[in-house]
Amino acid sequence: MPRKNIKKVLPSLFIITILLVTGGILEYLERPVYWPGFLAMIFFYGVIFFIGTYAAGMKTEESETSVMLAGRSLPLFVAVFTMSATWVGGGYINGAAEYTNSSGLVWVQAPWGYAMSLIIGGLFFARKMRRMGFRTMLDPIQQRYGKKVSALLTLPAISGELFWTSAILTALGTTFGTVLGMDFTPAIIISACIAIAYTALGGLWAVAFTDVFQMILLLIGLGLVIPFALEKVGGWDTAWSQFKLNHGEMSNLFPPLDGWKKEKWGHTYWYWWDTALLLIFGGIPWQVYFQRVLASKNEKVAMQLSIIAGFICLLAAIPAMMIGVIGNVVTWTDFGVNPPEEAALTLPYVVRYLTNPVVATIGLGAIAAAVMSSVDSSILSASSLFSWNLYRPLLKPDVSSKNLSKIIKRVIWITGISATLIALQVKSVYALWTLCSDFVYSILFSQLVCALFDKKANRYGAVAGLLVSVVLRFGGGDPTLGIPAFLPYPMMEEGISMFPFRTLAMISSLITIMIVSRLTQKISPPLALKKMDN
């Protein structure tokens, strides 16, 4: 084998060796490991790492554009796969199965909500963003409102990416613990380190090409699990009939149009719509989304990849929801196991106990692939925002392109480690995952809309809108973060407001930006957007 090819294989062999040693240590510590699944995980991770390091060699230059945007040369096929794989992550499939089981299909809003966000983003945002040659989602905000306001708005954007990464890693930890008998902590740490390593080496090229492999593996893996699991519950017709009996009206995908009149829904009806709008419009202002839009060859490809990915994401959720239905109707004691302690374990339980070892192993690879495809993307996105929109404009405006690419790679490690530490403390997969869109919906969506489409928007309006959105959003409290409500919103149930205060915060922020900007035109003339170099 030529020396050049040997160098490409060595990193993957190193990763495989580390994983084998980890398995041996766990066995020595008398923590039983399911070795067939563990060896399969080693193989999957070795392949993923090899693809990532191989793609790293595709960079034509060492610059921030190459690391962040793959030199703006992603072809449509690869771009569609990396966009789809980024959204269809561990939280996506685990959360869909979890909520289908515990709450019924009506509360599985994220798959179709995020699919709608990709389609709307492609129709109204992607073309303009790519045409202007921006490098990050916050570039139009920085041009319109200035460096300091942009830096302020970078914080919720980065926080959203961190929380999302943490939620995804948590999904992986619970899955590995169930399927492999592997401890939660080492599963998260190993997976995070691998994703961080190849992302730092290859940037978006590595992320994109590993996403193609991961998305194909995900679709095959979950597709194989379904028929085996259905056989154990008497087929789809039997499972669906029992599921409808268990959940009744909640087994429908949408609530009744007059839900607010019905006793079972009441105030919850408005909470459902608040969450639905949050997912649809809160799924747009993400750097992880615009990174792929801005890396496409031209604005036409940017629009096409977003719309196509929206439909793929919707289709990819169907197997996860079917697994949720199966997990709801199966009698676990018939298979010699106790029911899962929490609904979040629905997917790994079905994969492990309702399929044979071979299919379970492939299913595990599918889940691992889904997690890795989102983790690497969000880590790169958060690092790009920090380096391009915080470090460069505020600390070192004259930094060279080559040095900035080195900064991004260092920040990738810092971001990845931070997200991993957060993941080790996370309890709920779906709650934290949804909270990510909550932040960007309430705070960032209105800012991005005005920066892109309102020529009179200025920094005074942006700051006023930010204050309004923060007060109105956090005034409703947040049980996930332990923040109590301090504004007297109506429709309180068990200490939680069913009033759509998130949508109120977003709309109020949008109106505030427009009004205040127009009242302060003389003291703060609006800044025009400028096309950036590709």
- Residue 54 pLDDT class (50, 70, 90 cuts): confident
Res 20 pLDDT > 70 = no
Residue 424 · residue 159 · CB < 8 Å? no
Q: Break the chain down into helix, strand, coil percent, rounded to 5.
A: 75, 0, 20
Res 339 pLDDT > 60 = yes
Quote the mean pLDDT of the chain: 84
pLDDT of residue 431: 63
Within 10 Å of residue 12's Cβ, how many Cβ atoms?
21
Higher pLDDT, 165 or 326: 326
Listing DSSP states for 423-445 in one string gives: HTT---HHHHHHHHHHHIIIIIH
Determine the Cα–Cα distance for residues 155 and 368; give it in Å rounded to an integer: 29
Residue found under tokens 């460096």:
147
pLDDT of residue 142: 94
Higher pLDDT, 440 or 8: 440
The stretches of 57-89 forming alpha helices (DSSP H) are 64-69, 76-87
- The rounded percent of the chain whose pLDDT value lies above 90 is 42
- Residue 491 pLDDT class (50, 70, 90 cuts): confident
Res 238 pLDDT > 50 = yes
- The radius of gyration computed from the CA coordinates of the chain, to the nearest angstrom, equals 23
Higher pLDDT, 508 or 40: 508
Question: What is the three-class DSSP state of 110?
Answer: helix
How is domain 3-436 classified at the CATH fold level?
A: Sodium/glucose cotransporter (1.20.1730)
Give me the residue spans of the domains in the chain. 3-436, 443-534
Give the pLDDT confidence of 22-37 residue by residue, as tens digits.
555 555 445 555 666 6
Average pLDDT over residues 146-167: 85
Res 223 pLDDT > 70 = yes
Taking CA atoms, 342 is separated from 98, 174, 175, 226, 368, in Å, by: 9, 11, 12, 21, 20
Average pLDDT over residues 127-149: 94
Res 289 pLDDT > 80 = yes
Determine the Cα–Cα distance for residues 194 and 26; give it in Å rounded to an integer: 19
pLDDT of residue 363: 80
Residue 71 · residue 401 · CB < 8 Å? no
Taking each helix axis from N to C end, the angle separating 236-247 and 299-329, rounded to the nearest 10 degrees, works out to 80
For residues 487-512, b (16+ Cβ closer than 10 Å) or e, as one string? eebebeeeebbbbbbbbbbbbbbbeb
pLDDT of residue 2: 45
- Residue 6 pLDDT class (50, 70, 90 cuts): very low
Determine the Cα–Cα distance for residues 295 and 307; give it in Å rounded to an integer: 16
Res 211 pLDDT > 80 = yes
- Residue 469 pLDDT class (50, 70, 90 cuts): very high
Taking CA atoms, 458 is separated from 342, 472, 521, 530, in Å, by: 48, 21, 8, 15
Res 390 pLDDT > 60 = yes
Residue 65 one-letter amino acid: T
Q: Which residues pair with 496 in a beta bridge?
A: 493
Q: To 5 degrees, how large is the angle CA 43–CA 47–CA 53?
A: 145
pLDDT of residue 5: 44
pLDDT of residue 13: 53
